Amino acid sequence: MSQAPAIPKATWRRHDREIVALAVPAFGALVAEPLFVMADSAIVGHLGTAQLAGLGIASALLTTAVSVFVFLAYATTAAVARRVGAGDLQAAVRQGMDGIWLALLLGAVVIAFVLPLAPGIVDVFGASATAAPYATTYLRISSLGIPAMLVVLAATGVLRGLQDTRTPLYVAVAGFIANAGLNAALVYGAGLGIAGSAWGTVIAQCGMAAVYLTVVVRGARRYGASLRPDTAGIRASAQAGAPLLVRTLSLRAILMIATAVAARLGDADIAAHQIVLSLWSLLAFALDAIAIAGQAVIGRCLGADDAVGAREACRRMVHWGIATGVVLGLLVIAARPLFLPLFTGDPTVKDTALPALLIVAFSQPISGVVFVLDGVLMGAGDGRYLAGAMVLTLAIFAPAALLVPAFGGGLTALWGAMTLMMTVRMLTLWLRARSGRWIVTGATR
């Protein structure tokens, strides 16, 4: 990419406008998602410590289960955007319907797994005797909303592929408001306790899914796309998503290993790790918003046989990723005296977290490149390469992280290993982007 010819400023400005138009609403929708858990925690927390502990375990399990299937959004975005670029809106919406049907099937499988096994799953995660009944209750009821959650993922991918990130923002905000209101009414007004919080979340998620389905069905009728399940289309959606599932599982394994290593370092280290990880995750939302824009724009360009436009958009998004990373890093450095006291008053935890926090700050430009190129390659449908690159990254990170305690390293060394992980990701993604092998034009890859 570095040897490419200069691009006119007018082209940069066009890409800038498009990136902002897609990324800003996407960022709002991404930030709204964790607010669901925060609202639940705030309401359930007043019921008692055991109830809050139960909610923490159950919500972590649900979040993990749903995040594993995030490929429903990513793969659908890329596939739909390609067909939009090719000018075949009927096929684009039809592709989206296949993703939604796949979401419903996967949701049914998860429910069949979670309902009977909920007590055992909660026990495996170390719930205390007082928290376990609450965790089981919340997990069982909330699992009924998993099909709706997965439909939301797939339908969000449809709309992003159609270059619409505003509707997901509106639905996410409305869903958050409905969730908070329902939880308060059912937990306290109806006296249902933690079960009321679970039912409130289920109802809110079903409402969001209904809104999305209404929008997609209207689009299907407008463009004459069939609403019936198509076995071949559902199978194709699953095949496209399989490599991204491997990628996601590898990333989750990296985060789990990091947390396990931090736990072995001591109480102060694991507490500081959770603080730093929460900030790292928050910063990821801003960078992921640019990645979502990348998925939509790159998919559309390749579908329109515009390889030059895809390269130009990729280069500009990398610029955005680096610039955003620099800004975020500076904000972390400037805000660190205010950020740490929000989470702890323990001076030992603060002293442990501070060096790791600075590592996160200085590594943000690297993260910016990683997120952007990840989105570009997803938009290109280059899932197999992404899966292989993430497995390689896991293979390099795991021994580096596991050796931290053995060599007497602390949390700073662990976050050094996390930065190594992001650097490996950046190199593998940059080499792929530079090679141009991801550029495969046409309505399908």
The answer to whether 240 touches 381, Cβ cutoff 8 Å, is yes
Looking at residue 231, its pLDDT comes to 92
Residue 366 CB neighbours (<10 A): 19
Determine the Cα–Cα distance for residues 269 and 348; give it in Å rounded to an integer: 9
Specify the pLDDT at position 126.
67
Query: pTM value?
Result: 0.87
- CA 159, 28, 443: angle at the middle one, nearest 5? 25
**Nearest CA to 182 among 170, 198, 166, 171?**
198
Whether 294 contacts 15, CB under 8 Å: no
Give Cβ neighbours of residue 253 (< 8 Å, ≥ 6 apart): 394, 398
Distance (Å, rounded) from C-alpha 445 to C-alpha 439?
Answer: 9
With beta carbons less than 8 A apart as the criterion, state whether 68 and 247 touch: no
Q: CB count, 10 Å around CB of 307?
A: 14
CB burial of residue 232 (10 Å; 0-12, 13-18, 19+): exposed
DSSP 378: H
**Residue 6 DSSP class:** P
Cβ partners under 8 Å of residue 90, min gap 6:
223, 224, 225
Per-residue pLDDT, 2: 43
Q: In terms of Cα–Cα distance, which of 401, 80, 430, 115 is closest to 237?
A: 80
Burial class (CB in 10 A: 0-12, 13-18, 19+), 189: exposed
What does each of the 445 residues of the chain score in pLDDT, given as a tens digit? 445 555 667 777 777 888 888 888 888 888 777 667 667 777 887 788 788 888 878 887 887 788 889 899 999 999 999 999 999 999 999 999 999 999 999 999 999 999 999 999 888 766 778 888 998 999 999 999 999 999 999 999 999 999 999 999 999 999 989 998 999 999 999 989 999 999 999 999 999 999 999 999 999 999 999 999 899 999 989 998 999 999 999 998 998 898 888 888 887 888 888 788 878 888 888 899 999 999 999 999 999 999 999 999 999 999 999 999 999 999 999 988 887 787 767 788 888 889 999 999 999 999 999 999 999 999 999 999 999 999 999 999 999 999 998 888 899 999 999 999 999 999 999 999 999 999 999 988 7
